[in-house]
Structure 1
Amino acid sequence: MAQIMQATLNDEDSLLSAERVRLSSMVPATFACGVCMDDLEEDYVARVDSCKHCLCRDCLRGYIRSKLQEHRYPILCPVCTAETNRSDAVGVVSENIIRDIGVSDEEYAVFEEMQMSNFSIILHCRLCKNSVFVDREEYQESRILTCPLPGCLHAWCKNCQQQIDMAGPPHSCDGSSELEHLMRERGWKHCPGCQTPIQKASGCNHMTCLSPGCNTHFCYVCGGMIVQSALRREVERSVTEHYRRCQLFEVPN
């Protein structure tokens, strides 16, 4: 008799255990929101992919909208940013979450513009008066900027904003490269004493530098220094000696 009763009790216990398992499987899974700390059903979860933090959709939607209004990019996980002494990387709210969370078209357009600005920069052209997005990395590496719009191709220096003739000499903000090119083109000379540019207008090839304190005499034909002196006799002697082997006057054809 006792064995029969024990067997009956065991059967009833097994049935109760099976029923508890069945009932527990019907209870929806829950999660704790990392912002409001409420326990909610899994249907309301929004999970940041990169860090796996779980938030309720309402909390994450409100957080995303606040960051879009502040024009903050990238939008970081609020749980990660609230944690102190964090050693691993901070999670980033992805584009898929923002698209799925339910923001307005205007808010999503703000996100797209911020996303684009992370990889590009707006270039304003003074010639055609238009603006265009260009690659940020290329912009940072370039010293000379060129408007990419068809029919424009206006070029200018990023540092000094001067217009640049791409067919001309290499650009220098202080004009030294352009001056060197012009001097070579016109045959002008530098004073060998102080490097002041000198252009001969007329007369002989004996040139006297007019820069204060220079006192350099040089030849406009060969560019060589004759003498650096303020003494008249020394200058006359050096000039005479130099033009024994060089040409003092130009001979007309």
Structure 2
Amino acid sequence: MSSNSRNRVLPSFFLLQESRPFHIKMTSSQASLLHRFACIICMENKQTSSASPAISPSCKHQSNVCKPCLQMHIRTALSTKFASSEPPLPKCLQCPSEITHEYVQKSFPTLASTYSDYLLQAYLLTIPDYRPCLQSGCSSGQFHSGREEQPIATCPKCSGKSCFTCRIPWHASRTCAEVKEEERVNEELFEKITKICPGCGIRVEKADGCDHMTCRCKTEWCWLCRASYGPIRTLGNEGHRRKCPHWRGPTGEMPVVPVVQVGILAPVQAAP
């Protein structure tokens, strides 16, 4: 068929004769939607001006977290006490980029001094003789020269006592060996009943039977696969991780679960 014949068959509005500019009329409410986004933490529709600024040049994604939620996330991370290991820096809620002190000072100046104290504690914890006070509400600490020979460390500020060896409040009725064994058993149980929040990195415990978790940092995630509820609300069950029992593919396929054959034990009769 010649090109002229094809042109006669096709409706005229399918034939692009020349490029012409066109305009779409929108109401003011429709136009305002172009300047809004849904925060992946609180799931509220916010003005794009309320989105948190990019945390670092390595953040290549669009910011989908509002400023109040990011501020809550940072405050929660900085309020965590670490007795024996260097505290991790708070991270972006959308990628592994670390939230630096410079970023907090510029974006959330009210948290700058808290972050400075946090970094100081992180540095002090690298010194072998230093021990932070473990009493609630006390931010002090001390250098203890007695070590294992004199394990009781007394805080100069609140007089709270802790064990230098075990790094816990003083255990008058138990030996350090008994405490260590008790901690091992508790740690095994702790690993089974808690999981790390993908938002703030703090371990949380499941309080009821629902797999929809909401951390105090406002991050919502699936208990089984730790997927964020932002994609789940957008994609449905396809937003879960592929091996999660809640996952469903775009055409309805389900995750592959290993088949376990269950045998039934029956009494064995003795030979006559």
- Give TM-score, length-normalised by structure 2: 0.30
| Structure showing greater relative contact order (alpha-carbon pairs closer than 8 Å, 6 or more residues apart) | 2
- Give TM-score, length-normalised by structure 1: 0.31
